[in-house]
Amino acid sequence: KPPKRPPLTVEEQEKYDKLLEHVKSIKELPISSDPNEKTKRPLSDEEQAWVTKECMLRYLRATKWKLADAQKRVEGSLIWRREYGVGELSPDYISPENETGKQVILGYDFASRPCLYLFPSRQNTDKSNRQIQHLVFSLERVIDFMPSGQENLALLIDFKSSTSSKNPSVSQGRQVLHILQTHYPERLGKALVINIPWFVWTFLKIIYPFIDPLTREKLVFSEPIDKYVPAEHLDSIFGGKSEFEYHHEKYWSAMCEIADEKRKRYMERWHKLGGGVGLSEAALR
């Protein structure tokens, strides 16, 4: 089962209550971060359902409980999700990026975190913005697969047979880091990395200064992965017992259908509980 967090202190509860009050007071937000953008619109049902109690607490923890920073960050992420078109990234648009199975959602770790596998050696497309959109799409889907009470994912990366030409550029790496740390705070539970070649170490050294300290603590390099993921759930490539073979036509449609159904039930529960912001993910999942 997911580990339970300790109850909020009196001060933390007060800050959460103020953040909730602030978000409830939002009438409308711009559709992009462009300072010249004048078009605004109210929060949609999906946007309100995104701003859960746990979501706001994640932003408060990420900002070290600085209320003004958390308010700014939540609003910024809502605007970014609109501008980036997170909800409009369709399976058909993303599908070509995953034809070789370079990103796979498979199983759960010992803490009930869904596992997202990355295989850079399976890179099948030229560097483009869609590669980053692909990762955002996968993050959104792995969040759909989180059980009630779970807020984190486990990231498993195998660099075996990867080449420097197939790995992301430094600018892509920094862009991905910015998205993860700014708009998916407190989502990474563990990042388990194996078979790291020298050029990846060089890449990591370059982007390491941009990785926040909390994220660094979650990085695990070249350790036995079955310490963190049950062997039955762990891909054999990582030393587990799961002999998973990727077949795009079967996997892609099944994964997307299951995620869509989970999201549909999430929104049905949101409506049943009265809607609005600040509902608990534990009840929605």
Span 172-209, pLDDT tens digits: 878 888 999 999 999 999 999 999 888 778 877 877 77
At 125 the three-state DSSP class reads coil
156 closest CA partner among 122, 111, 194: 194
pLDDT band at 67 (very low <50, low <70, confident <90, very high): very high
**Tokens for 70?**
């958390």
State pTM to two decimals.
0.94
82 closest CA partner among 31, 29, 128: 31
- For tokens 């600018």, the residue is 171
Q: Where do the domains of the chain lie, and which CATH numbers do they carry?
A: 10-88+262-284 (no CATH), 97-259 (3.40.525.10)
> Residue range 34-63: average pLDDT?
97
Look at residue 271 and tell me whether its pLDDT is greater than 80. yes
C-alpha 12/C-alpha 14 separation (Å) is 5
> Residue range 258-275: average pLDDT?
98
List pLDDT tens digits, range 123-169.
Answer: 999 999 999 999 999 999 999 999 999 999 999 999 887 776 666 67
Phi then psi for residue 184, to 5 deg, are: -130, 50
- For tokens 């999430």, the residue is 266
Please tell me the predicted confidence (pLDDT) of residue 267. Answer: 99
- For tokens 């994220």, the residue is 215
276 closest CA partner among 79, 82, 51: 51
Q: What distances in angstroms separate CA 178 from CA 19, 62, 65, 183, 199, one per listed residue?
A: 23, 13, 20, 8, 22
Please tell me the predicted confidence (pLDDT) of residue 47. Answer: 99
Please tell me the predicted confidence (pLDDT) of residue 200. Answer: 76
